[in-house]
């Protein structure tokens, strides 16, 4: 009986099992692809070799794009709703980017109250994540404290210029307008001061710990103590020797001002909606910051002016500071700021006992510092505030959104493409849009031109398609930066694991801020007081 039964069973197995097997292998088989990657050999030398990687499924790629995405909405007095999204995509492990944000309500004792100060920052770390992570915790607090001092103690916060003659003239002049704390020049100076002073604390922290640890015997014998096991050894040293760019937007709704502070080569762009006579309108691209590298001629001239003439051709080589560091402004990066002697002493005191060390400075290193944290601050008016009460009173040109992003995004997208992609997202585009059709669907014009920090090589903007498949607009920008509608290219690029991914793409952090007319309920936000904004390293 069993002998007669095995044939139909075997036949059934062949008919059902074979298709099931092929279905299973097609569904779960992962294709592989090869890439040329850098590999460090045992002798320390780096060579290029081919390495095979698995091509991750589309669902896994979608999850990577969206796993660090957040969104927030805040209804504020006067009917405005501030919205923002942030998304990140790592190339390094751990990611070296960071970000933070905060909305602070002006204290009722502030003459400019009511109103808010909205802070949004993105930090692009390099040589480690230590500096960017520290900035994500303290940079907004440092700037808020400086702005609070400007409000409550302006004489101490504003630099004295012009000497006694200027002070005598001021006795006979009319009160300044706008008020001191609302003058854009004073606010810009306060933001610059906060950035600069914070970096001084960061850079000087290891020196201060060393000074406090020296006794008379060590001073007399010039013996450098071993402080590698000091509880603050690495906590102080690592943020100083790694580095980070920082980009901050400050929106002052009381004075109707927007400030963008840029240290490094991250970039902020704005989308202005310009209404046309037919009511259709277009997006105007306004770039709010310049990429600060040696390729920026303004930065090149500044750096050359700060060093002896015989260094004019060595302070920047191939667009990089001393041929090494790309951003010309950054927090940390102590190897470009400390003298040779200080680097050697701190290395022996804090790092040698931890089997770590500071990379030696470039060969052209002579007259530090070569890098500054002081930001360039730009200013725009928030002309749409207060919100219009009737259609006829609305401005014909209105700031609608701001994009803050680390250079990993701008390596792949132009400022115009980013504004068009956000504008299309706001307009409700869905699916896949041919790039050649984008200018008709989302017309744009160029206002302030982009100052590129790198030598960019991008494919033709009319090739391929943009993807409008993400609800989070920051994730939307990241997806389109690395492939958009070209699913195979997107999967391949995002399948490369760390540390090899860094050769093909950078860490990316994107924050998009926009506003809507809500006329809805109010949201409780922290009061803007010195006690709540004090920051310490």
DSSP 449: P
Q: Convert the pLDDT of each residue in 355-376 to its tens digit.
A: 999 999 999 999 999 999 999 9
What is the chain's mean pLDDT, rounded? 88
Give the per-residue pLDDT at 461: 63
Least trusted range by pLDDT, from 23-32, 47-56, 144-153, 301-310: 23-32
Handedness of CA 398, 453, 46, 30 (dihedral sign): positive
Over range 101-124, report the average pLDDT. Answer: 92
The residue with tokens 């901050």 is 248
- Using an 8 Å Cβ cutoff, are 206 and 358 in contact? no
Give the per-residue pLDDT at 388: 86
Give the per-residue pLDDT at 30: 58
Q: Convert the pLDDT of each residue in 13-27 to its tens digit.
A: 444 444 544 444 444
Residue 268 token pair: 């902020």
| CA 258 – CA 82 distance, rounded (Å) | 14
* Helix and strand numbers, DSSP H then E, in the chain: 16, 20
Over range 492-506, report the average pLDDT. Answer: 96
Kindly indicate the confidence band of residue 229, based on its pLDDT and cuts at 50, 70 and 90. very high
Q: Is the pLDDT of residue 174 over 90?
A: no
Q: Is the pLDDT of residue 525 over 80?
A: no
CB atoms inside a 10 Å sphere around CB 177: 7
Give the per-residue pLDDT at 457: 72
Q: Which residue has the higher pLDDT, 456 or 288?
A: 288
Q: Is the pLDDT of residue 516 over 80?
A: yes
Kindly indicate the confidence band of residue 231, based on its pLDDT and cuts at 50, 70 and 90. very high
Give the per-residue pLDDT at 164: 43
Prediction pTM value = 0.89
| CA 138 – CA 373 distance, rounded (Å) | 15
Give the per-residue pLDDT at 348: 95
CB atoms inside a 10 Å sphere around CB 112: 18
Over range 520-536, report the average pLDDT. Answer: 46
- Using an 8 Å Cβ cutoff, are 203 and 389 in contact? no
Over range 136-158, report the average pLDDT. Answer: 89
| Cβ-based burial of 127 (10 A; exposed 0-12, middle 13-18, buried ≥19) | middle
| Helix (H) or strand (E) run with residue 141 in it | helix 130-152
Give the per-residue pLDDT at 8: 46
| CA 87 – CA 67 distance, rounded (Å) | 8
Q: Is the pLDDT of residue 255 over 50?
A: yes
In order of start, what are the domains of the chain with their CATH numbers?
52-159+175-526 (3.60.40.10)
Query: How does strand 527-528 pair with strand 97-106?
Result: parallel
Q: Is the pLDDT of residue 244 over 80?
A: yes
Q: Is the pLDDT of residue 459 over 70?
A: no
Kindly indicate the confidence band of residue 1, based on its pLDDT and cuts at 50, 70 and 90. very low
Give the per-residue pLDDT at 215: 79
Give the per-residue pLDDT at 110: 81
Query: How does strand 376-381 pair with strand 257-263?
Result: antiparallel
Give the per-residue pLDDT at 524: 45
DSSP H stretches of helix in 263-395: 297-305, 340-346
Q: Is the pLDDT of residue 150 over 80?
A: yes
Q: Which residue has the higher pLDDT, 368 or 519?
A: 368
Q: Convert the pLDDT of each residue in 190-201 to its tens digit.
A: 999 999 999 999
Q: Is the pLDDT of residue 9 over 50?
A: no
Q: Which residues sit opposite 515 in a β-bridge?
A: 82
Distance of CA 220 to the CA centre of its chain: 46
Q: Counting every residue, how long is the chain?
A: 537
- Using an 8 Å Cβ cutoff, are 487 and 58 in contact? yes
DSSP 22: H
Q: Convert the pLDDT of each residue in 268-320 to its tens digit.
A: 999 999 998 777 899 999 999 999 999 999 999 999 999 999 999 999 999 99
Kindly indicate the confidence band of residue 240, based on its pLDDT and cuts at 50, 70 and 90. very high
Q: Convert the pLDDT of each residue in 332-344 to its tens digit.
A: 999 999 999 999 9
Give the per-residue pLDDT at 530: 45
């Amino acid at each position: 009986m069993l002998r007669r039964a095995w044939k139909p069973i075997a036949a059934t197995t062949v008919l059902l099992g074979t298709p099931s097997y092929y279905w299973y292998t097609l569904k779960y088989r992962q294709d592989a692809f090869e890439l040329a990657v850098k590999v460090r050999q045992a002798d320390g030398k780096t060579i290029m070799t081919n390495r095979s990687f698995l091509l991750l499924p589309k669902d896994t790629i979608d999850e990577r794009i969206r796993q660090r995405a957040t969104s927030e909405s805040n209804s504020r007095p006067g009917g405005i709703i501030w919205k923002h999204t942030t998304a990140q995509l790592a190339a390094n492990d751990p990611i070296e980017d960071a970000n933070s944000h905060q909305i602070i309500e002006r204290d009722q004792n502030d003459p400019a109250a009511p109103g808010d100060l909205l802070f949004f920052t993105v930090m692009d770390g390099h040589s480690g994540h230590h500096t960017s992570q520290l900035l994500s915790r303290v940079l907004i607090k440092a700037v808020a404290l400086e702005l609070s001092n400007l409000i409550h103690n302006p004489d101490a916060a504003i630099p004295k210029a012009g000497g006694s003659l200027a002070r005598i003239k001021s006795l006979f002049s009319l009160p300044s307008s706008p008020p001191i704390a609302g003058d854009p020049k004073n606010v810009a100076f306060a933001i610059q001061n906060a950035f600069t002073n914070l970096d001084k604390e960061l850079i000087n922290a290891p020196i201060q710990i060393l000074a406090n640890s020296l006794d008379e015997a060590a001073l007399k014998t010039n013996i450098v103590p071993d402080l590698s096991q000091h509880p603050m050894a690495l906590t102080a040293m690592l943020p100083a020797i790694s580095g980070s760019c920082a980009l901050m937007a400050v929106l002052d709704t009381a004075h109707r001002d927007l400030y963008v502070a840029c240290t490094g080569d991250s970039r902020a762009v704005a989308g202005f909606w310009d209404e046309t006579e037919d009511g259709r309108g277009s997006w105007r691209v306004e770039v709010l910051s310049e990429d600060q590298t040696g390729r920026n001629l303004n930065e090149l001239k500044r750096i050359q002016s700060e060093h002896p003439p015989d260094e004019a051709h060595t302070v920047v080589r191939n667009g990089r500071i001393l041929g090494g560091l790309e951003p010309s402004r950054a927090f940390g990066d102590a190897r470009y700021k400390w003298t040779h002697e200080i680097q050697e002493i701190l290395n022996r005191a804090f790092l040698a006992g931890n089997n770590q060390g500071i990379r030696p400075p470039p060969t052209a290193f002579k007259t530090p510092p070569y890098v500054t944290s002081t930001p360039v601050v730009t200013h725009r008016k928030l002309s749409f505030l207060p919100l219009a009460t009737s259609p006829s009173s609305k401005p014909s040109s209105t700031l609608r959104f701001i994009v803050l992003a680390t250079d990993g995004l701008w390596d792949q997208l132009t400022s115009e493409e980013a504004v068009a992609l956000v504008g299309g997202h706001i307009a409700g585009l869905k699916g896949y849009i041919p790039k050649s059709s984008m200018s008709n669907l989302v017309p744009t014009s160029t206002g302030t031109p982009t100052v590129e920090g790198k030598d960019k090589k991008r494919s033709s903007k009319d090739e391929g398609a943009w993807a409008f498949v993400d609800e989070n607009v920051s994730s939307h920008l990241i997806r389109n930066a690395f492939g958009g509608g070209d699913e195979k290219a997107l999967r391949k690029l995002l399948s490369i694991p760390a540390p090899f991914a860094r050769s093909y793409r950078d860490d990316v952090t994107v924050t998009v801020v926009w506003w809507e007319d809500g006329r809805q309920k109010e949201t409780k936000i922290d009061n803007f007081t010195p006690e709540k904004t004090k920051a310490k390293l």
